[in-house]
Amino acid sequence: MRHLIDITDFSVAEIDNLLDLADKMIEHPEDYRDCLHGRILATLFFEPSTRTRLSFESAMQSLGGSVLGFSSAASSSTAKGESLTDTIRTVSCYSDVIAMRHPVDGAAMAGSFRSRVPIINAGDGGHLHPTQTLTDLMTIRREKGRLTDMVVGVCGDLKYGRTVHSLIGAMSRYKGVKFVMISPKELKVPEWVTSELTKLGIPFTEVESMEEAMPQLDILYMTRVQKERFDSEETYLRLKDVYILTPDKLANAKADLSIMHPLPRVNEIHPDVDDDPRAVYFEQVRCGRFVRMALIKTLVEDAASNGKPNGVPAPEENEIRGTVKCGNPRCITCQEETLPQIFRLKDADEKVYRCVYCDWEHKA
């Protein structure tokens, strides 16, 4: 059964097909009005959301299906101590597809091991957010007419910003893409992201000044400093306003720059930028509904023909199972200790293995 846990679960051709379908849906929504009649989407949001949850719900209703779910862990049996995997096992008996958001890294992967229906990762902790990336790719393709040959600047909280991790994973598979990562040292992009770029030979630079980076950028992807992931309030307060995009900072930007943000924003884009024709963050919001329609339709129809639950993956040759504990305290395996610890070989020369849930790297 297909799930969407990481954007790289879909090939470039499959992503391009999803974007083509989403473009058709935005032009002719009436053609898809009843295609999932009688099907049910469950939205399990253990963490707050406006765009992702409501766009999933709007998407399913636009396809003729219906929706059930919860918008906080407090209103589910999680509050009584039920495990995530038992919750997923239960809800997958009531629905045809599940979109889940959880504050812990790797939660969606853990859910997929126990689900009878496709799981869509709607954000797992500070790790990944693949459906935001589909939204971003659709927006970029509609703005630029391509996903190749561009300089993508990502700015802000690159450590905990899950949208950035997924966006880099996706865009690095398109030819001619370079990344400029703009952040303070404390919020640099994690090593599991940069080591992949290095391995693939994708050019990237890491800088601290947004203004210096600006002239070369085709995309400026701003992000919020993720208050909810910080252990120290003092560190958050010191870093939260480190980048604030105002109209004057765009003086040296390209005329066809696209200014993006997954939203919600706090202070990092001043509202005076909203009227700049290069600001496309509310166009991202619009695309989110249609690309999620395309995704839900694709996964539900795929499950109807290939719908065997996957279960816990069978052991592979190049893996370590059960003998190494994940060193990421935010990994789901640190919360649900009955989950099998699984590390897969990432770099044979360096003997680097990765946790299958959260990508934390272990050197053997």
SS3 336: coil
Residue 338 CA to residue 334 CA, distance in Å, equals: 9
Gyration radius from the chain CA atoms: 20
SS3 231: coil
Please say which residue, 43 or 328, places its beta carbon nearer to ligand CP.
Answer: 43
Q: Edge-to-edge strands of the sheet including 361-363? A: 319-321, 342-347, 352-355, 361-363
Please say which residue, 127 or 178, places its beta carbon nearer to ligand CP.
Answer: 127
Please say which residue, 291 or 355, places its beta carbon nearer to ligand CP.
Answer: 291
Please say which residue, 86 or 283, places its beta carbon nearer to ligand CP.
Answer: 283
Please say which residue, 164 or 182, places its beta carbon nearer to ligand CP.
Answer: 164
Please say which residue, 55 or 183, places its beta carbon nearer to ligand CP.
Answer: 55
Please say which residue, 160 or 353, places its beta carbon nearer to ligand CP.
Answer: 160
244 within 8 A of 268, measured Cβ to Cβ? yes
Per-residue DSSP letter, 248: G
SS3 265: coil
**CB 203 to ligand CP: min, Å:** 27
**CB 217 to ligand CP: min, Å:** 21
**CB 143 to ligand CP: min, Å:** 18
Q: Edge-to-edge strands of the sheet including 150-155? A: 204-207, 177-182, 150-155, 219-222, 258-260
Please say which residue, 170 or 342, places its beta carbon nearer to ligand CP.
Answer: 170
Note the residues at the interface with ligand CP (CB under 6 A).
Answer: 49-52, 123, 132, 262-264
C-alpha torsion sign, points 196, 202, 206, 211: negative
Give the E-state strand segments of the chain in sequence order.
40-45, 66-70, 97-102, 119-124, 150-155, 177-182, 204-207, 219-222, 258-260, 319-321, 342-347, 352-355, 361-363
**CB 52 to ligand CP: min, Å:** 3
Please say which residue, 45 or 174, places its beta carbon nearer to ligand CP.
Answer: 45
Position 1, amino acid: M
Residue 223 CA to residue 103 CA, distance in Å, equals: 18
Degrees (nearest 5) of the Cα angle 240, 244, 250?
160
Token couple for 253: 């930007």
Q: Edge-to-edge strands of the sheet including 97-102? A: 66-70, 40-45, 97-102, 119-124
Please say which residue, 167 or 193, places its beta carbon nearer to ligand CP.
Answer: 167
For residue 232, report the phi and psi dihedrals to the nearest 5 degrees: -120, 120
**CB 49 to ligand CP: min, Å:** 3
**CB 232 to ligand CP: min, Å:** 23
CA end-to-end distance (rounded Å), the chain? 32
